[in-house]
Structure 1
Amino acid sequence: MKVLVTGAYGQAGSAIVSQLKQQGFVVEAASHRMLDIADLSQIEAMLDRVQPAFIVNAAGVADLASSEQSPDRCRRVNQEGPAFLATAAQARGIGLLHLSCGWVFDGMQSSPYKEDDPIRPVGRLGESKWLGEEGVRRHCQRHIILRTHWLFSGHEQGEVARVLQMARTEPQIRALVDHIGQPTAVSDLARVVTAILQQLSCGVQEWGTYHYASAEYTSKYGFYEAILAQARQYIAIACDELIGAEAAQEPGAIPARPNQARLDCRKIRYVFGIGQRPWRQYLQGMLTEMCDPVI
């Protein structure tokens, strides 16, 4: 079965492309330069050429700061693009799996968010993601919207690499204690996307909105603490103190974000049989590859 992956060279997209190929899918990987999803004519031309059975939309602005600084780009990619993909997919009978995120919730709820909990987007990022979801629902009947949260990878410009770089050179690192979520490895997300597509390709018709994030809640402080503890096995660490901080006390303007974005992932387990895996096991494997052994 052929799958078109948009945003295919981003953090999530590249992991999804790799996993799909490993599982025998025929994959057309489209970067932003190859396909501007905010241009309907480009989408239609690519779909007519590639003729995929499914589209996985991994394209999107996911950074809080850039979404505030570049609102037009955020709107085009997160809001208009998904609606155009959905419109073109519906006209051709193509299924669409669209990645969204937990920023569609305000983070004020004490319990993990279910798929049908009230939507209260935070900032431009949350608003654009929600409107993108609505565009998919409105224009494509055969859709899966998969909300995830706090993706991490071994990418050299990603959060884990940034923490490792600071750990090598700085005696102290600050980390937020009041933002709670579920770190999710992109390889774990790719596993889930692949499992969903495998079932859809076998005739499962359970379209709709689902949540997936790795098991175990933590804060930025807890995540950084885990990175440092595991990295000490492989590299020399200069950092000897991890300082807990609250967002309101940090210098500079911090874009609005939910103070907790825990996702309830029971629906995806009941419908597709997909269980959560611990993020720590993915982090361990990732650091083994990223860190040079201590000589």
Structure 2
Amino acid sequence: MLFKLLLTQANSPLGSALHHDLERESVNLLLPQAEDVDWRHAESVSAYIQQKCPELVINNYAWDTLDTRDGQDAYLAAATHLAAACADADIPLIHLSGYQVFSGNSKSTHSEKDNVDPVTAQGKTLVAAEQAIARLCPRHICLRLGWVIGAYGDNLLTRLLGGYLGGQAVQANRRLRGAPTTLADVARVLVGLYKQISCGSDNWGIMHYCSGDACTQEEFAEQLLQLLIQQQLLTAEPSLTIIDDENTDEPASAILTCRVIRDCFGVQARSWRPSLLPLVKQWLHNRGE
């Protein structure tokens, strides 16, 4: 019998990447629609879990919309209700979180043991969801991610591409540091976790993942610009302005140590650089160019 896995949101950039990878696995994949379950309401979530009886839940619901108040409310509600329902049914839960749980201090790398101290509403929502899950659901993984980039959605790569190829002024901050991680790489890691959990792995708690290739926002913007120039893709004179101010809207560093996920699941970090040109080509293809 196929392993039954529930993915809470497949119609988002990360959900689509994960759905694509999971379709190639021997898994009974549950992809609920809006009419099937309301993740904001405890009774609806509990009824759906009891009816479908998944063996593992991967929760990415509203993770892509945390920059809005509605997205934050939906994210926290879904995480809380899922944690309770999974605990009642003894179902493991993988929940997506992010580096925004940390403060804007000068620390260059954040480990799983560091104290959280969010500086934004987004970060506070992430922390509240993690705390609810830890309180309610013993068998859980809260997977914090760093900068996630891809050819879809709103992320650092798509914003820079839109500016460069749209003839707009582009800004990059030399004080912000991260380790860009592609959507496909995140999906690879999640599939790896599912496979080992389905085989009996019993490792739970807070875990980190980001690519093994750190850079500043300035360095990423400049490498992307050089790539566009080399590929003769620019249609207008680029305008890149470097900012040297502290950004209070997010932590100065999105670089995460990934020791726990490596030790527990053998996950090895990959570089984003070989994926940059394919991502640019995919972004252009999406726009019909």
Give the alignment's TM-score, normalised by structure 2. 0.89
Deviates further, 227-236 or 202-211: 227-236
1:170-211 Cα deviation digits (max 9, x unpaired): 264221222111111111001001101100110110111110
Q: Per the alignment, do residues 76 and 156 of structure 1 end up closer, same or farther by CA in structure 2, a change over 3 Å counting?
A: closer
Is 1:215 aligned to residue 212 of structure 2?
Answer: yes
Is 1:236 aligned to residue 229 of structure 2?
Answer: no
Match of 2:24 in 1: 22
Alpha-carbon distance in structure 2 between the residues aligned to 1:39 and 1:234:
51
Alpha-carbon distance in structure 2 between the residues aligned to 1:191 and 1:113:
22
Is the 1:62–1:125 contact (alpha carbons within 8 Å) kept by the matching residues of 2?
no
Match of 2:259 in 1: 266
**Which letter maps to 2:190?**
V
TM superposition shift of 1:65: 4.6
TM alignment of 1:1-295, pairs within 5 A: 1-30=3-32, 34-62=36-64, 65-66=67-68, 70=69, 73-155=70-152, 157-170=154-167, 172-232=169-229, 233=231, 235-247=233-245, 256-291=249-284
Q: Per the alignment, do residues 25 and 111 of structure 1 end up closer, same or farther by CA in structure 2, a change over 3 Å counting?
A: same
Q: SS in structure 2 opposite 1:126?
A: helix
Deviates further, 233-242 or 199-208: 233-242
1:46-87 Cα deviation digits (max 9, x unpaired): 223322111100113555652xxx2xx245223232111010
Q: SS in structure 2 opposite 1:22?
A: coil
Q: Per the alignment, do residues 264 and 151 of structure 1 end up closer, same or farther by CA in structure 2, a change over 3 Å counting?
A: same
Matched positions, count = 283
Is the 1:171–1:239 contact (alpha carbons within 8 Å) kept by the matching residues of 2?
no
Alpha-carbon distance in structure 1 between the residues aligned to 2:81 and 2:91:
13
**Which letter maps to 1:83?**
T
Runs (5+) with no aligned partner, structure 1: 249-253
Q: Per the alignment, do residues 2 and 51 of structure 1 end up closer, same or farther by CA in structure 2, a change over 3 Å counting?
A: same
Q: Per the alignment, do residues 257 and 153 of structure 1 end up closer, same or farther by CA in structure 2, a change over 3 Å counting?
A: same
Runs (5+) with no aligned partner, structure 2: none
1:202-248 Cα deviation digits (max 9, x unpaired): 01101111100011112222222222222331623423342211355
TM superposition shift of 1:27: 1.3
Is the 1:169–1:239 contact (alpha carbons within 8 Å) kept by the matching residues of 2?
no
